[in-house]
Structure 1
């Protein structure tokens, strides 16, 4: 059985996360806002408040503060000293990038335990006793990647996030098997700092309401198709005595058919897309 040194796991995990996070960033689309080495200005302000210190720019965060914030807010909160090597790092990286609750949800879904975003004895036991930690890491990161793709900021930051997950997976699985050999560092963060990925940026699911309006659902529903059907029903008796009215009725039949087919197709797409977003983010 692999012997875990919690101090070592935190130290090497922090070193990897800092490489992934990069330096200072304040991208207008980043929900984290001003961020230095993964610590946002809001988190830094709260930390300085607890220390009885005045606020200052996160650009000036020192090494002791940085380590204290990472240890207390992102490592200890998730009780990562209790987790297997590699798994603790993967959860830690997610904690920093998307928040502790969200990262723990990915872990719990991968384990198949109650997903409440809080690490308790059941979550720890399930992780420790999991028969294949390489596979567990892959499952955690699959949930994470699906979540990231459901964010409206994916088109902007997706390339960096995907590279980060690839690097995290390689490192986590190596550590899970006891391999301490140096691993390549993802180069994207050295060029461009990583950006936060929060649930607040989940893109809105398409609404099937347009499809429902197009396909009707009964005249009482007031749907567009139902309204056209009403007009068609009223004009049909007159079509026998007027070529113009007959052509209008034929046109209405065609329009109604197109609306129905298009509405059904869009309704299928909208419900499928909504289900995928729900699966990735709930």
Structure 2
């Protein structure tokens, strides 16, 4: 979920550390998990190693979101699964992370997380997805080799193994937390409707009668 990006970003940085330029590392010069090639792609095309070492927090966030989080569909993956796939992407490349997730949820492994992958992922128990993904990730790490065909695990295994263990633990915790409740709709205030104005009353037509002189009438009766 997209609300998890900041937390996932902070957690990944704890594992990535600072500057590294180990000849055995296939990624080459790296600063806080960002390789020189990636830095040149998203921040500064002609960047030097020195430029990479001075990468700012804002530049870091830009690279992590665009090159990793967005590419693996972090905003649309379930809680916990998003972090597990994201960390895998940072460590071993977004294409590989996507393919391994697709292998876990049994869809075509094209390295592109689309509707089919998302539907299959959401349909499985999230804890199962996380555990299988972490298991497969460790298995890949143990057989990964450098350009000369030498296994990388003896050199990097002491850092990789606890990293995957930590990712598994935190991802499972994220998957187990209750989903945020949907906000209740605000009650619609009843607005008093003004009473309609009274209908106009047609004026009554009054026909005036001549006044009766009762004394004259009575006198005429007596004379009769």
Secondary structure in structure 2 of the residue aligned to 1:80 = coil
Q: Give 5+ residue unaligned stretches, structure 2.
A: 145-150, 180-224
Q: Does 1:67 align with 2:61?
A: yes
The separation in 2 between residues aligned to 1:14 and 1:49, in whole angstroms, is 21
The separation in 2 between residues aligned to 1:139 and 1:96, in whole angstroms, is 18
The separation in 1 between residues aligned to 2:111 and 2:135, in whole angstroms, is 17
Q: 2:33 aligns with which of 29, 33, 38?
A: 38
Q: Is the 8 A contact 2:36 2:47 kept in 1?
A: no
1:31-88 deviation line (CA, Å, top 9, x unaligned): 11111100011111222346xxx42321011111110000111011111101111000
Q: Does 1:95 align with 2:89?
A: yes
Aligned-residue offset at 1:117: 1.1
The separation in 2 between residues aligned to 1:73 and 1:107, in whole angstroms, is 17
Partner of 1:174 in structure 2?
Answer: 173
Higher relative contact order (CA closer than 8 Å, sequence separation 6+): 1
Partner of 1:148 in structure 2?
Answer: 141
Provide TM-score, normalisation by structure 1: 0.58
Q: 1:23 aligns with which of 8, 11, 18?
A: 18
Higher Cα radius of gyration: 2
| Moved segments of 4+, more than 4 Å | none
Partner of 1:187 in structure 2?
Answer: none
Would the alpha carbon gap of residues 179 and 155 (structure 1) be closer, same or farther in structure 2, given more than 3 Å must change? farther
Q: 2:100 aligns with which of 96, 99, 106?
A: 106
Q: How many residues align?
A: 171
The separation in 2 between residues aligned to 1:12 and 1:101, in whole angstroms, is 22
Provide TM-score, normalisation by structure 2: 0.73
Q: Does 1:117 align with 2:111?
A: yes
Partner of 1:78 in structure 2?
Answer: 72
Secondary structure in structure 2 of the residue aligned to 1:116 = coil
Partner of 1:163 in structure 2?
Answer: 162
Partner of 2:207 in structure 1?
Answer: none
The separation in 2 between residues aligned to 1:179 and 1:122, in whole angstroms, is 25
1:244-263 deviation line (CA, Å, top 9, x unaligned): xxxxxxxxxxxxxxxxxxxx
Q: Does 1:55 align with 2:47?
A: yes
Aligned-residue offset at 1:179: 7.4
The separation in 2 between residues aligned to 1:49 and 1:63, in whole angstroms, is 15
Report the structure, 1 or 2, having the larger helix content: 1
Q: Does 1:136 align with 2:129?
A: yes
Q: Give 5+ residue unaligned stretches, structure 1.
A: 181-282
Q: Is the 8 A contact 2:69 2:86 kept in 1?
A: yes
